[in-house]
Amino acid sequence: MEELKAVLESTMLADNDTRNAAEEHLKTLRGAPGFMPALMQLISGEHDPGTEATRLAAALQLKNAIKAHWTPLSEDDVRFSDEDRAYVLGAVIDVVMVEGVKPVRSALCDTAAYVCEQVYPDAWEEMPGKLLENVRSGEPGRVHNALLQLRYIAKVYEHREREARAPLDMIIEQSFPLLQEAFAHFLDLNTLEAATNMKLIVKYFWSCTQYLLPSVLADSETFFVWLDMFNALLAKPLPEASEGLEPVGQPTDVDARMAWPWWKAKKWVMQVVSRLFARYGNPKMVQDELVPFAETFVNRAALPLLETQIGLLRHRAAGGFVSDRVAMLCMCYLASACEPLPTWKLMKPHVEFLISDVICATLAFNHADNEMWEADPGEYVRRAYDSMAAITDPRNGAQNLAIDMARVRKYALPKMWTFIKNQLQAYKMTAAPDRDYAAKDGVLALLGSLERQIKASEKHMKQMETLLVQHVFPEFTSPIGFLRSRAVWVFGQYGDLPFRVKHHLGEAVRLSLNLFKDADVPVRYSAAVAFRFVLENESDAIEEVVTPIFPEIVEEYFGMMGELPVDDVVSALEHLIGRFGTLATEFAPELMSRLIECWRHYVDEGEDDEEIGMTAQNILDTCDTFLTAMQTAPERYPELEAIVGPVLMQLFDASGEGLEFLDSALEIFGTLAYFTPVISDDLWRIWLQITVAQREFAFDYISGMVPPTDTMIQRAPDTFCSAVDPATGLTFLQTAFGVAERTMEHGNESDATVASKIFISIFCHCKGRADEALPRIVGYVADKLCNVAKTSYYKVALANVIEAALLYNAELTIGALEEIGATAQVFSAIVEVAEAHKAFLPAKLGVLGFCSLLRVPPAALPESVTAGLGQVFATIVGRLVRMKEIEEHREEEAGDEEEDDDDDDDDGAGGAGGLAFGLADAADEDENTGFHDDEDGDDPEDAAYLAELEKINKQIQESRARGETFRFDVDDEDDNPDEETPVDNINSYIYFHETVEMWRSTADTNAALDSIVGAMEPSFAEAFEHFYVQGGQEKAEAEEQAAANAAQDAAAAATAGA
């Protein structure tokens, strides 16, 4: 035992060699008989109390050994003796029950929960009863530890589906009745132990009800008894320490209050009831069989809980303490309560209180904000843009409450609008020394939070320009720093407003840009971030202000980026460059160098900081935006490539150290490849390094590699087909084949589908240059199509490769297929997936490929092809029909977008009104979105979401039935009309028309064609004729346009010569 203690103590030493040697020695002891009992005896102090460090080391070794070897994974794995296993099962709960040291207890609870997962209920049947005996014991330590152990066990199962939760359900059935009694008992006590134990029971309840209610709660009365008790805990008054009332001892320090067991228990109650309300609070959004239960839940539980939470918020508004987390959860609950009619009826009389004393009071600048603003403005800025901290910030809850009330209820937005105007007017009429600056900050925060709802209201939008000019823009020069910050934020929220008076916008932009140099750090960052959204306004007033001082603005951004790593600031610079990048033409290399320098600084500083890492990635995205903006000055690309190229080589290095930036790096490379005047040798070297990265560590990034590879092939096909990689001796084409082959051999079919596009690029861009490669590619793809591919989308992709090969050289392709005896099988496979060609590019490739096949003289085709020429023509017609459907759908969508734009243009700006609080304009209510007070607020987005989930679930089941892996994007693959494709320069209808003309040119082929068309279904024969005529018309129009262009060029040349 002493030797074991000494080894355990060595595992806690700082010296790495000693510690590692001790841990390795302990691993060799794991299978030794008596090892686990010895560890447990050390932990319990059965023979020797030992030090806390030794006991913790023993607990950790026990946990690691059991998790590694309790269930052997192989014949060679360590195996515990039956005696040792029995000892653990018999003693571990007893050891947990008396353990008072938190780290040791946590390790033991984790161990016992793992053992439970492995053996219960087949063995260890006595475990739940033993835990419940300790709950009944009344001994504080045992009660606490038993509840803690139950929570650990429940966490093992909380995220599992119903079938896998069966062991937990058995434990729940035994434990819930007793725990319900225990909770009721603890409610009557005022001790910290009672609060802690109730918190543990609530956490156990949370884990047990994570995704569904256990069967023991199917009895709705049992369920509602729990909720009644939770509500009673939530409503329990917690007096200030100075009052001397029970429960006594509430701390006065805010952080200590947050950690006080009573407030932590209430926080967990709020988390539970908020989740239950989200699940069952709207009977119209639950499954049909749960509707009665949900209706009961709303009236029996949701309403009393809502009333209690409003009471808590009133207590906080009156100056009483309610923890930030509890208040935030209350506000989130109220936000959800806007939708069901019963809860909204209860909320409605409190709306004015909620607007003024909850929402605005929470949003307003407070004492804690001021302390941080003055003492550590950098930390204030970091917290302001910390997305993780926002999740638990009461301000986030207040914003959501305001937004949801305005979105769901017609009654709410006019109320809030009137309150905002009245408060702003009252502030304006108050003498400066008596003004409540924080109150105005809260009102402006509410105004900015409601931007989407206000923009959706024509009546309110007509008043916005006047309101901004009168009450927001003047604060740009306020002596109060936080008001300057808030005002510029509000300007950002409404920066895209179509200002009726151009000067108003121009002056606001000028003043907001002045704030980039403000004395207060938080104001500078607020202005920099807000300007991103102001840039969305297309008014030339912005150009007039920005153009003369663009370099200075950029310099200010770099100054702030060097001071604090705020992702939103980098994003704002990206938008500035996206709109005004052409102004940087003269100093483009300097700007790119500054961006790269800043990126390197963030990479060095943020090695272990995820937020800084994201900011560094955003800088690379800004580099990409700047490169795109430089397309009007293509002569700058070689200089920019020289600056950014080494960074790309670094990120694509085989070490894999640039993995987190790979997406952005691929985007930058793609932009350079697309816009640079000439594909340089350095760009090819970077491309080769990308292929190395794909081979070594970036296997999953094929979707980002294919588009720039396609660009490189398209722009420099000669180099691609002939140049050799000195490192491997392979041509670039062979290297690209290797990339596709690796993915198609070792990746999933979704990635393989993407990789196959490399072959399509080769055939579409390398006409006449890839003859030697064609047989290998066609043979490889044919095997995948006929013998390997399982999913329809992968088969379509492989069929497209064959079709692209036919377009490249039909005779050579048929020869390659004949060589391997696969012609008939391949064509049969292509015809089988014809219906799956749902997107535009696959359909078009099919038309072009098969038309190319039909251009080969029939006498030169093998029997395996000529026997199915009728099917080939029918397949072409089917693809043309599909293309036509997609084109018509795109035209309809474009028309809808134009109508939407016309509707948007109707928004105007006018004067402001002056309604009293509570007297909303009826016309405004009718115009405002939302629901009346006598109907449920059924969010159509929620209904659409559920409908989409149902659709996806159906598609998943259908995919499983076909033995396929479901993909969300199958139907939309390649269906972006703005995306360039390798065959954009070919008109399918003209190509089809010319192919038919070739068949009509000889008597034999014309007769054969008549026979083929005559055998078609009437609808196909009609479509055949339609597309033949359409192709002829489009060919005539194209020839006419070409003649007109030639004449215009000749006239221009003659004029120039004169």
Alpha-carbon distance of 999 to 851, in angstroms, equals: 11
Percentage of residues in the chain having pLDDT higher than 90: 77
Q: Write the CA distances from 532 to 446, 449, 474, 491, 543, integer angstroms.
A: 20, 17, 21, 11, 14
Specify the higher pLDDT residue, 49 or 825: 825
Q: Give the tens place of pLDDT for each residue, 316-373.
A: 999 999 999 999 999 999 999 999 999 999 999 999 999 999 999 999 999 999 999 9
List the one residue out of 718, 632, 705 whose CA is nearest residue 673: 705
Q: What is the C-alpha separation between 734 and 742, in angstroms, rounded?
A: 12
- What's the pLDDT tens digit per position in 163-195? 889 999 999 999 999 999 999 999 999 999 999
Please say if the pLDDT value at position 977 is more than 90.
no
Cα 392 to Cα 156, 176, 469: the distances in Å are: 25, 30, 34
What's 686-716 look like in SS3?
Answer: HHHHHHHHHHHCCHHHHHHHHHHHHHHHHHC
Beta bridge pairs of residue 731 = 724
Q: For 46-55, 206-215, 583-592, 851-860, which range has the lowest pLDDT when averaged over its residues?
A: 46-55
Most confident of 70-74, 164-168, 810-814: 810-814
Q: Residue 523 and residue 292: Cα distance in Å, rounded?
A: 53
Please give the pLDDT value at position 963: 53
Phi, psi (degrees; rounded to nearest 5) at 931:
-120, 150
The amino acid sitting at 172 is I
HSE of 546, CA atoms in CB hemisphere, 13 A: 26
* pLDDT band at residue 976 using 50, 70 and 90 as cut-offs: low
pLDDT reading at 973 higher than 50? no
For residues 576-605, give the mean pLDDT. 94
Backbone angles phi, psi at 242, to 5 degrees: -70, -20
**Residue 399: pLDDT band with limits 50, 70, 90:** very high
C-beta separation of 781 from 740 below 8 A: no
At residue 665, the pLDDT reads: 98
Residues 663 and 592: their CA atoms lie apart, in Å, by 19
Instruction: Give the residue from 843, 873, 848 showing the smallest Cα distance to 858.
Output: 873
Percent of the chain with pLDDT over 70: 91
Which residue in 415, 422, 428, 427 sits closest to 457, CA to CA? 415
Provide the 3-class DSSP secondary structure of residue 339: coil
Lowest mean pLDDT among 289-303, 545-559, 827-841: 827-841
pLDDT of residue 1005: 93
pLDDT value for 1013: 94
If you average pLDDT over residues 471-484, what whole number do you get? 98
pLDDT over 70 at 456, yes or no: yes
DSSP state of 907: -
pTM attached to this predicted model = 0.83
What confidence score (pLDDT) does residue 509 get?
Answer: 98
Residue 17's pLDDT is what? Answer: 87
Q: What's residue 162's pLDDT?
A: 84
Region 750-760: mean pLDDT is 96
Residue 937 has pLDDT above 90, yes or no: no
b (16+ CB within 10 A) / e for 128-137 = beebbebbee
Give the integer Cα–Cα distance in Å for 986 and 984: 6
- Residues 611-650: tens digit of each pLDDT: 788 889 999 999 999 999 999 999 999 999 999 999 999 9
Would you list the domain boundaries of the chain? 1-119, 141-241+262-280, 783-906+984-1058
Q: Are the C-beta atoms of 381 and 446 separated by less than 8 Å?
A: no
pLDDT in tens, 869-925: 999 999 999 999 999 998 888 888 766 655 555 554 444 333 333 333 333 343 444
Tell me whether the omega of the peptide bond preceding residue 565 falls within 30 degrees of 0, making it cis: no
Tokens 């490379």 sit at which residue?
669
| Residue 980 confidence (pLDDT) above 80 | no
Bridge partners (DSSP) listed for residue 724? 731
Whether residue 433 is predicted with pLDDT greater than 50 in this model: the reply is: yes
Residues 6 or more apart in contact with residue 898 via CB below 8 angstroms: none
Residue 970 has pLDDT above 50, yes or no: no
- Over residues 279-296, the mean pLDDT reads 89
Residues 6+ apart with CB under 8 A from 269: 202, 230, 233, 234
Q: With bands split at pLDDT 50, 70 and 90, how would you rate the model's confidence at 936?
A: low
Q: Quick one: how far is CA 693 from the chain centroid? A: 26
Is residue 728 within 8 A of residue 741, CB to CB? The reply is no
Distances (CA, A) of 487 to 2, 440, 477, 516: 70, 10, 10, 14
Given a cut of 90, whether residue 709 has pLDDT beyond it is: yes
Alpha carbon distance 853, 199 (integer Å) = 74
State the pLDDT confidence band at 23, using cuts at 50, 70 and 90: confident
Sequence-separated contacts (24+) of 738-746 with Cβ below 8 Å: 738/691, 738/695, 739/691, 739/694, 739/695, 739/702, 739/705, 739/709, 741/780, 742/694, 742/695, 742/699, 743/694, 743/699, 743/702, 744/784, 746/699
Contacts 24+ apart (CB under 8 A), 899-907: 906/458, 907/455, 907/458, 907/461, 907/498
- 188 three-class SS: coil
Span 400-411, pLDDT tens digits:
999 999 999 999
CA distance 672 to 604: 26
Q: Write the CB contacts of 748 (distance below 8 Å, at least 6 apart in sequence).
A: 965
3-class DSSP state of 731: strand
What is the chain's mean pLDDT, rounded? 90
- The four Cα atoms 87, 90, 96, 99 give a dihedral, to 10 degrees, of -70
Q: What is the pLDDT of residue 158?
A: 92
Reading the block at residue 983, the tokens are 């065959």
CA distance 418 to 432: 23
The pLDDT of 1007-1014, averaged and rounded, is 94
Closest CA to 531 of 501, 498, 574, 502: 574
| Per-residue model confidence as pLDDT tens digits over 190-223 | 999 999 999 999 999 999 998 888 888 877 789 9
